[in-house]
Amino acid sequence: MKAFFTNGTYDYLQQLKDKNNAILILHTDEKAMAYEENETETMFESPRSYEIVVESGVLTEKGFIVMNNIPVTDEGRPIFETQFKKRAGMIDNAEGFQAMRVLRPERGNTYIVLVEWDNKEAYLKWKDSKSFADAHKKKDGDKKPPYSAGPAYATEFEVGEKEEE
């Protein structure tokens, strides 16, 4: 299964969604992007394309998404993917969890670990949990993972209708 992103204004992306209801619109106050999953091609003119390597849960039209962007070396790809495949399902029972995707880039080296929650509060509650601490515990002190190709960063988005200003 493939995943695709494209950027645009919220209004433009809403027009795309009107043509294809399977698109999710992710947004903040400053930016918006559309996300689509399917087996073949996308309707997006300038997509960023990914292969879904781990899939859990169902993405919904309303929620809070955290995308961890993780640069991975070419040699480290199998290590990174195996690590997430072994962890698959560990987060599924967290309160407020909806879905997770681990996305391998078709170009570049930055994987995306996309997790959807009921709301930001559910995410923050999980982030303060023992489950989160255990999953993110450094095994070799503060040493970076063997697959790391640079610093990771997270982005957060709302999913669903944008509130009128």
Q: pLDDT digit string (tens) for 10-51? A: 999 999 999 988 899 999 999 999 999 999 888 899 999 999
Q: What is the pLDDT of residue 18?
A: 92
- Asked whether the predicted pLDDT for residue 98 surpasses 90, the reply is yes
What is the amino acid identity at position 137? K
Q: What is the pLDDT of residue 86?
A: 85
Give CA–CA dist 126/131, Å, rounded: 7
- Asked whether the predicted pLDDT for residue 134 surpasses 90, the reply is no
Span of 2-11, 28-37, 55-64, 133-142 with lowest mean pLDDT = 133-142
Which has the closest alpha carbon to 120: 69, 160, 93? 160
| Contact of 28 with 157, CB cutoff 8 Å | yes
Domains and CATH numbers, the chain: 41-159 (3.30.70.100)
Helix spans in 37-143 (H)? 77-87, 120-127, 130-135
- Asked whether the predicted pLDDT for residue 146 surpasses 80, the reply is no
- pTM of the complete model: 0.90
